[in-house]
Structure 1
Amino acid sequence: MSDLKDAVARRGSFLQTARAVGWSFFGVRRSADLAQDVQKLNPVHVIVAGLLGAALFVLALVLLVRWVIGSGVAGA
């Protein structure tokens, strides 16, 4: 249980976390960087950044589809 408390008490910035999650979405993370992330990043920040990243990705896809359909390119 103390391991969980130690992990949540990590002081990695949210910007570092967002960058790590962003690279993870593309799957181009080096193993050395992953090892650093495990030691530095707060797992709560990782979960929040992952959910935000997924929501932004879905929103971008929805907007892209609406734009393509609205422009008439899809119907031609």
Structure 2
Amino acid sequence: MDDLKEATQRKLSFFQTIGAVFWSFFGVRKGRDHDRDMAQLNPVHLIVAGLIGGILFVVALVFLAKLAIRLAT
């Protein structure tokens, strides 16, 4: 239980976590930066940012699909 409390007190802000999630979607992350993120990311921020990123990704895909269909007809 102390490990969880310690993990939620990590240093990176929510916006830095969003940046890490953004780059992870593209798969372009330097090993050094990845190791630093794993040591400093707040797991709660990581889960929230991942959910937000996933939802935005799906919405963007749906929008692009609808746009392509509209332009094709």
TM-score (normalised: structure 1): 0.88
1:22 and 2:22 are equivalent in the alignment: yes
The 2-side partners of 1:11 and 1:27 are apart by 23
1:23-42 aligned within 5 A: 23-42=23-42
The 2-side partners of 1:40 and 1:59 are apart by 29
Higher relative contact order (CA 8 A, sep 6+): 2
Percent pairwise identity: 55
The 1-side partners of 2:38 and 2:68 are apart by 40
TM-score (normalised: structure 2): 0.91
1:11 offset after TM fit, Å?
Answer: 3.1
The 1-side partners of 2:2 and 2:38 are apart by 16
Which shows bigger deviation, 60-69 or 7-16?
7-16
- How many aligned residue pairs are there? 73
Residues 26-70 of structure 1: per-residue CA shift (max 9 Å, x gap): 111111111111222111001111110010000000000101111
Could you tell me which runs of 5 or more consecutive residues in structure 1 were left unpaired when the two chains were aligned.
none
Could you tell me which runs of 5 or more consecutive residues in structure 2 were left unpaired when the two chains were aligned.
none
